[in-house]
Each structure stands twice: as C-alpha cells, then as structure tokens.
Structure 1
Amino acid sequence: MYPILVLSITGIITLFLGFLKSKKVLLPATLFFVTLAFLSNFYDWNKPGLYFNNMLQVNNYTILLSAIILLSAFLIIALSKGFIDDEHAQPAEYFAILQFSLVGAIMMTGYQNLIMLFIGVEILSVSMYVLTGSDKRNLRGNEAALKYFLMGSFATGIMLFGIAMLYGANFSFNIEAARTVIIQSQMTGRSVYLFVGVTFLLIGLLFKISAAPFHFWTPDVYEGAPTIFTTFMSTIVKTAGFAAIYRILEVSFSPIYNFWWVMVIIMTVLSLIISNVTAVSQSSFKRMLAFSSISHAGYMLMAVVGLSNKSDDSIVFYSLAYSLATISAFGVLMAVSKEKLVDGRPDESIAVLNGLSKRNPFLAFILAISMLSLAGIPLTAGFWGKFYVFSDAAFRGHTWLLVVAVLMSAVGIYYYFKPIIAAYMKENEGEVISLTPFYKIILGITTFGSILLGLFPDLLRSLM
C-alpha cells in the first residue's frame, strides 16, 4: 500500500519540478522517489493485511512482485538520461507518468476486488498509450500509439464485459467471494455468466501481456515507441499482467481449472510457436526482442497452466530473471543505436551490433549475458526461470506442452545467438562507443543479477 501513496505524491511533485529552468534535477529526483517507494514497499513485510476497504491485499508475495516492478523501474529510468539532453523532450511529464503508471502496476499485483483490478489496468494502460507516442516528430511512433490505443481500448472493453458477467454470477466484485460461490456449487443458472466472464476477463488480460493470438500490436508498438518506453512495456507491464492473471485464476477460479486450462494452454502453444518462428527472420533487433517478449509470455503461461503451490514462486523468479536480461539488452541497444542514424532515427537493426566487441568490449559482454539468459542457457537466471515453469507444467502432466516448449527453446537459441555473432564475429569500422560511469554501473547491476541468480537461484526463492 505504501508505494502507492508514495508514488502518487511524488508523481505530482515531479510535475512541479518541471517548472524549474534546469532539467538536471529531474532524473536524480525521480530515482530518489522510486527508491523511496521501493523501501516503503517492505514496511509491510511479514505483516499481511487488507487496505482501501478490503480492495487491496498486501502479503510477502505481492511485496516481492512490487519490488521487482520498482527495481525494474529504477534501472530503466536510470538509463534514460537521453531525455534530459533532448531539447524537444519534456522529462518532467515523462517521469511523472512513469510514476503514476507504477501505481497501476502495483494495484494489479494485490487487488482483492475486480474494480481495483480495472483501475490498475487503466492507469497502467493509459500511461503507456501516452508514452508510446511521446516523440511527436516520429510518425512511426504516432502510428504505434494510435494502434496501441485502439486495440487496447477494445481489449479493455472485453475485460470490462467479463467483469460485468462475473458480477452477474457472483453478485460481488470480491475475488474470494467468487471462489466461495463456486466451491459451494450455488451457480445453477448463473454458470453461463461465470464461464463467459472468465473467458472475456482472460482475453482482456492476455492482451496486456501480448500473448498470442492477441499479440499483433506488439512488434509495431515496440518498434515505434522510444526504446526506453519499450523497455518499460516489455518488463513492468508484463510482470504486472502476469501477477493479475495468476491472482484471479489461483484465488477465484482454481476450482474450475478444468474449464479454463484448455484455453490457456492453446494460447501458450500459439505464443511459443508464432513468436519463435517469426523472430528467426527478423533483421531489426528491436522487433526480435518484441517477438522474444511474446515467447516469454508463453513460457510464463506454463506456470499458470501448471497452477501448483510453487507457481507463484516460479512467476516471481521468472519475472525478475526476464526483466534483468531484457533491460540489459535494451540498454545495449540504446547505447549502440544512437551512434548511427537511419532516416533521422537511431539504427536499431542487428547489423548495428557488428564488431561491438572491438568498439566496446563491456557492452558486448553485457549483450552476450542478456541473450544467453533470454535463451535459457545454464549458469544464467533465464535457465532456472525456464526450469521452474517447465516443472510446473510437468506437475499437471502436460508432457506434450513440455516437448513444444523445449523445441521452441531450441529455435530461440538460434535467433538469440545472432546478436552475439554480430558482436564478436563480424567486422564494423564504427567508432569506439563511450559510456558514462553511471550507465556502466546500471548495466553491470543487471548483468550481475542475471549471473548471481543463475549460480544461486535459491537466493530469491528462499524469500518466498
């Protein structure tokens, strides 16, 4: 609860800081505000409770998810110094919107009421619509923002219809009340409302995590949006979305597992196959990471399909492992792409990474570790993340799903190694890339985290 209060207040303060003549104070101030929210998040550790008229629950699990969201936000914002230097940018507005969006993301991790879920989704979604089109000079970004807004609005309408159907079945927006009604078998004629509500609610939430077949917006939006906001979408939005999906299915609808698991497993398979096969042919590093995001949605859905007492641990671990590796990859892209412009925009192709090991060995190493982690290679956090979600699927006996996931992981290794090959085995006569010490520290933290969790995965799971 406390991060919500902190970020709501500091977001307003950030807007007022925008009136200052100097923009240099905005970045350190925002980092301080996010750090303050991160520290306040642990005030409720081992003190579970309900807040806001029993509409929001706080426990150790929701605290860990919120911590991952806030940590990811800190790392992403720390890489955003380019906004301060761009004379056309309005960093105060950007940083304030990012803080407000974090409020929505945290609401999605611990909602106890479907109204709170809807508010959280909308706060997060509207913020992303605005930030996607924040670069008004970029026509591709404007198109991406419009596409994201239109498709997101339809998804929100579908989700809201599902919430209405669930209320018709349970006469309550409380997610635990829904479980009680289902267990007591009091549905009778209202069963239709329940099943329709579950289906439509899931469709709306699966759109937010870009799971197939609701993924069509992802490549264009990821490519058109400024890279710093693409990083935000691919990590924080995905973490919050999975927290919301798992919570509603585990708390409310686990008694009707036999109804919804078929739908979720079909979307899991589609996400794995479509994304990995399509990513192979991508020449744009940013679009490749977009399809990578879709594939990891499929892997994380395996934990939902497995739905055991360890699934929440798997989602927490996978979210952190994926976030660290993705922030590293986008951080390298932001540093390298600005060195070469194509049609007035940074070059975001895989070819821009050619010869990176000679131009900046540190960035090449960061890139290699991030790609290895995303591919699930041993001794990285990504390996254990996949191991845990595969174990969850095996718990339910979905052996054929494991076969599909392993095959698609092999396909993923092919395209994840393309940037590594470009960095270490191809030549480029580009200039040496220089980084600020702070930028190096942030990328060092994300890479160190990927390696540390790969070597000692129990460090995180011991907290749960």
Structure 2
Amino acid sequence: MLPIILLSILGLLVLFLGFQKSKNILLPATLLVLVITLIANFANWNDAPSLYFKGMLFENKLTMAFSGIVLISALLISALTRGFIDDEAAQPAEYYAIMLFSLVGAIIMIGYENLLMLFVGVEILSVSMYVLTGSDKRNLRSNEAALKYLLMGSFATGIMLFGMALLYGATGSFNLTALKSYVLTNPSPSVMMYVGLLMLLIGMLFKVSAAPFHFWTPDVYDGAPTVFTAFMSTIVKTAGFAAIYRLLSGSFSGAYTFWWSTLAGITVLTLLAGNITAVYQNSFKRMMAYSSISHAGYLLLSLTALSSQSQDAIVFYSLAYSLATISAFGVLMIVGKETGVRSNEVSENFNVFNGLGKKNPLLAFVLTVSMLSLAGIPLTAGFWGKFFVFSSVVERGLTWILIVAVLMSAVGIYYYFKAVIAAYMREGEGNAIKVPQFYRLVLIVTTIITLFFGLLPDLLKGLV
C-alpha cells in the first residue's frame, strides 16, 4: 500500500508549497507526485497477493489495476487545471492537496479487506468531494451543489454505516474473508445479515449514482467547477464500483440468489432513468451527469451477472469510460474559457460547441471520439467496454436485462450525437480557438488511448 503512504506524505508537501510566493511550482509538483505514485502502484505487480496494516488492506493485481485507473485519471485531470494558477481568487495549493488526499480514500476503497477501512475510505473521498464541489465560493450554484451533496451524502453514509453494524451483529466480524466464511457455512443466514447487506449496498450505490439514489448527481455535476465534475465522475465511480465488486464477489457470492434480483431491478431503473432523462437535457454538463448515471447502469450489469467475465469487463469499462469523460470535460473547459462562458453558468449547453469543427478541428475530433466511445460505437474503447459487459450478462443467461441495456444504448446515441452535430453542422460565433500546448497533449493522449483500445481491446483482458 505504498501509494497510500506516498499520497499522504507528498500531499502535505504540496499543501505547504502554497506558502511560496510563486504558484507556478504547484502543478508540476502535483503531476510529479502522481507519476511517482503511479509507478509505485505497479511496482509489486508480479508479487503474490498481500495483506497490510494488520490485515485491514489487501493488494493484488485487481486492486492495482483499479488504483492505476484512478491515478491515471487524476494525472490527466490535474494536467487540465492550469486555470487554478491564473485565477487570483483560487487557492491552488489547497485544491491540489485535497485532490491528492481524496485519492487516498479512493485507493483505500479499492483495497479494503475490512468494512471499517471501507468506511474510512468512503469518508476521506466524500469529504474531499464536498469541499471541492463548493470551491467556487463566488458562485451560488456551486455552494448549493456542495450543500446538497453534503446533506444527501451524509444520510447515505449513515445508512451504509448502519448496514455495517448489522453485518457485524449477524456475523461477528468486519473482515471480508470472515463474512464469506459465514455465508458459506450458514445455508440460511439471518435476516439481520440480509438487511445489513442491503443497507450497505444502498450507501455504496448512492456514491456511484445508481437509481433511485441518483437525484443529487445532476445538480452537483452541474454546479461544481467543471474540472472537479470530471474528477468525481471518473474517480469516485471507479473506486465505488471496485468496492462493490470486491464486496459482492469476495464475500457474498454465496448469497447470490438473494441479492441479484434486487440489484437487477436497480440496474434496469438506473439504465432507464439515466438514458431517457439525458435525452431532454440542453445543458452539456447535465447531460453528462445523466450519462454518468446510465454508465453506472452498464457497470451494474456486470455486478448483477457476476460471471467469470465480470472482473475484466468492469476494469476495461472503467478505463474506457474515464478516458472518454476526461476528454469531453477537457474540451468543454477549453471551449467555455475561449468563448467567454464562465464555469457553472447555465449557458454551458450544447450551443457552446457550435462551429467547433471550423474553430478548432482537433477539439472537434477529440469531442467526437469521446462521444462515440461513450455511445459505444465500434473502433472505440467504449464499444468493447459495453461488449465485454454484455458478454458477462449473456454468460449468466439474463437475456431480458440485456435487451433493456441494448435498447438504452440506442437511446444514448441520440443525446451523445447532439454535441457532434453542434460541432460540425451548426454555425458558431467567434474566432478560432487556441489550445495551450499542454492541454493539447493531454487531449491527444486520451483520444489515442481510446482509439488504441478500440482496435486492440484484448491487451487488457487477462492481465488481472
């Protein structure tokens, strides 16, 4: 668990760098910390699975893969935060430090072996997100989003904690291995265990924006500064699904007949709520919020099936979704800034992309690839992500839920293509948009990786 130690110590160092007169060192220092942590994360790739901190945390190839996705996402998003330095009212040292500390929570959520560590990880990540959501103190919508997130998140955490208490009361342990042993050795587990599991799942499903626990998502995504919207829509979701997968596959696979129907109902509801509601959105950020809900539904498909292909499917889908989402929000940040649209304004809608194909062909291409990947169009990583997820469902034989997912994928094409149509088929006002060299590099990298895994998807299969 070297990444946790590095992020904790080096995050404090970045915070103290804020006392320097010049802020220019903060972004390079943050990127360096993330690169060092990413290298350290894969340093033990070939080692046997290990337990750390008195058996509270677990590390194997799966946890390292999820942690790697989280760290790569953080690295790419941090590279798009140059605006912190230019904004005199911003506190970049605090922002960067909180981002690094939030990654500690995400990695703990991914590698927990004890439910108490899951709670600690969730709280570290959640509190960091509450603060970052309301970081634009001059914007009332940002303040409102932070308050909603805090209040609803607190209730969800309380439900999750009560579920953990019930599980402990039923099994006598918080340890995942002990929970698994209890489920396997008790053909008819107590009602307390079932209720505890459901309450724990409710708390976790809130974090990943699954319906009907998704109502906070549109307002929070829309009100938060765009860069932090990108941060929470990728890192929080990846860590959340990694935590749920380890809980269900590691401890409660023996109780599959109990929880699969509940999770299947939530999956269908999430797919319907996310995709259908996204069709009616005029704001690009709100569309991406409902898109995030719909992608939570696709990831839930693999959890509902919990077949031999689920693990690879969730890892691949998380990477594909994160890359496409970062590309989309990166383009929005650049276009919004160049066209004079201040972050969090209602005018951050599809019209901001009008004529982008002429103003900056590169940005239009990056936006197009990201939308195609999110829609699951062939030759992008997103297509194979959905293919692997659907394959895991087929293996379990859940044909009816697969039909719903395929139909909702068709609906998704409609609202994702709104941005592409605006970029290429509508006339826009203003001059050509210039992209800073560093931003250009980040967007090119995310686009190339999206297309690369769209052409060679099998490179990641079997690694974990």
TM-score over 0.5 for the alignment? yes
Q: How far, CA to CA, are the matches of 2:343 and 2:232 in structure 1?
A: 24
Aligned to 1:445: 445
SS in structure 1 at match of 2:19 = coil
Structure 2 residue 239 is matched with structure 1 residue 240 = yes
Aligned to 1:268: 267
Across the aligned residues of Structure 1 and Structure 2, the Cα RMSD in angstroms comes to 1.1
Q: How far, CA to CA, are the matches of 2:332 and 2:341 in structure 1?
A: 14
Once the two structures are superposed, residues 16-49 of structure 1 have per-residue CA deviations (whole angstroms, 9 ceiling, x without a partner) of 1000000000000000001110000012212120
Aligned to 1:280: 279
Tell me if structure 2 keeps the 8 A contact 1:145–1:221: yes
Tell me if structure 2 keeps the 8 A contact 1:44–1:58: no
| Identity over aligned pairs, percent | 65
Aligned to 1:382: 382
Q: How far, CA to CA, are the matches of 2:328 and 2:274 in structure 1?
A: 18
Aligned to 1:160: 161
Q: How far, CA to CA, are the matches of 2:370 and 2:173 in structure 1?
A: 44
Distance 1:343 1:132, change over 3 A: closer
Distance 1:345 1:255, change over 3 A: closer
SS in structure 2 at match of 1:43 = coil
Report the Cα offset of residue 125 of structure 1: 0.2
Report the Cα offset of residue 339 of structure 1: 2.7
Q: How far, CA to CA, are the matches of 2:184 and 2:299 in structure 1?
A: 27
Aligned to 2:313: 314
Structure 2 residue 242 is matched with structure 1 residue 253 = no
Q: How far, CA to CA, are the matches of 1:185 and 1:202 in structure 2?
A: 21
Once the two structures are superposed, residues 107-145 of structure 1 have per-residue CA deviations (whole angstroms, 9 ceiling, x without a partner) of 111110000100000000000000000010000000000
Report the Cα offset of residue 370 of structure 1: 0.1
Q: How far, CA to CA, are the matches of 2:160 and 2:29 in structure 1?
A: 36
Aligned to 1:137: 138
Normalised by the length of structure 2, the TM-score is 0.98
Once the two structures are superposed, residues 413-439 of structure 1 have per-residue CA deviations (whole angstroms, 9 ceiling, x without a partner) of 001100000000000121211011111
| 396-405 vs 345-354, which moves further | 345-354
Once the two structures are superposed, residues 184-220 of structure 1 have per-residue CA deviations (whole angstroms, 9 ceiling, x without a partner) of 11766xx111001110000000000000000000000
Q: How far, CA to CA, are the matches of 1:343 and 1:208 in structure 2?
A: 28
Aligned to 1:96: 97
How many residue pairs get matched?
462
Q: How far, CA to CA, are the matches of 2:120 and 2:187 in structure 1?
A: 29
Pairing of 1:62-81 with structure 2 (within 5 A): 62-81=63-82
Distance 1:345 1:408, change over 3 A: closer
Aligned to 1:86: 87
Tell me if structure 2 keeps the 8 A contact 1:57–1:112: yes
Once the two structures are superposed, residues 258-313 of structure 1 have per-residue CA deviations (whole angstroms, 9 ceiling, x without a partner) of 11111111111011111111111111000000000000000000010110122111
Tell me if structure 2 keeps the 8 A contact 1:222–1:290: yes
Report the Cα offset of residue 63 of structure 1: 0.5
Structure 2 residue 18 is matched with structure 1 residue 18 = yes
Aligned to 1:340: 339
Structure 2 residue 202 is matched with structure 1 residue 230 = no
Distance 1:114 1:345, change over 3 A: closer
- Structure 2 unaligned spans of 5+: none
Report the Cα offset of residue 387 of structure 1: 0.5
Report the Cα offset of residue 345 of structure 1: 5.4
- AA paired with 2:376? G
Report the Cα offset of residue 341 of structure 1: 4.1
Tell me if structure 2 keeps the 8 A contact 1:181–1:187: no
Structure 2 residue 325 is matched with structure 1 residue 326 = yes
SS in structure 2 at match of 1:445 = helix
Q: How far, CA to CA, are the matches of 1:46 and 1:75 in structure 2?
A: 26
Structure 2 residue 399 is matched with structure 1 residue 399 = yes
- AA paired with 1:438? F
Q: How far, CA to CA, are the matches of 1:268 and 1:299 in structure 2?
A: 8
Structure 2 residue 192 is matched with structure 1 residue 193 = yes
Q: How far, CA to CA, are the matches of 2:259 and 2:343 in structure 1?
A: 47
Once the two structures are superposed, residues 334-365 of structure 1 have per-residue CA deviations (whole angstroms, 9 ceiling, x without a partner) of 00012334688554110010000000000000
- AA paired with 2:157? T
Structure 2 residue 202 is matched with structure 1 residue 203 = yes
Tell me if structure 1 keeps the 8 A contact 2:359–2:433: yes
Report the Cα offset of residue 182 of structure 1: 1.2
Pairing of 1:40-79 with structure 2 (within 5 A): 40-47=40-47, 48-79=49-80
SS in structure 1 at match of 2:51 = strand
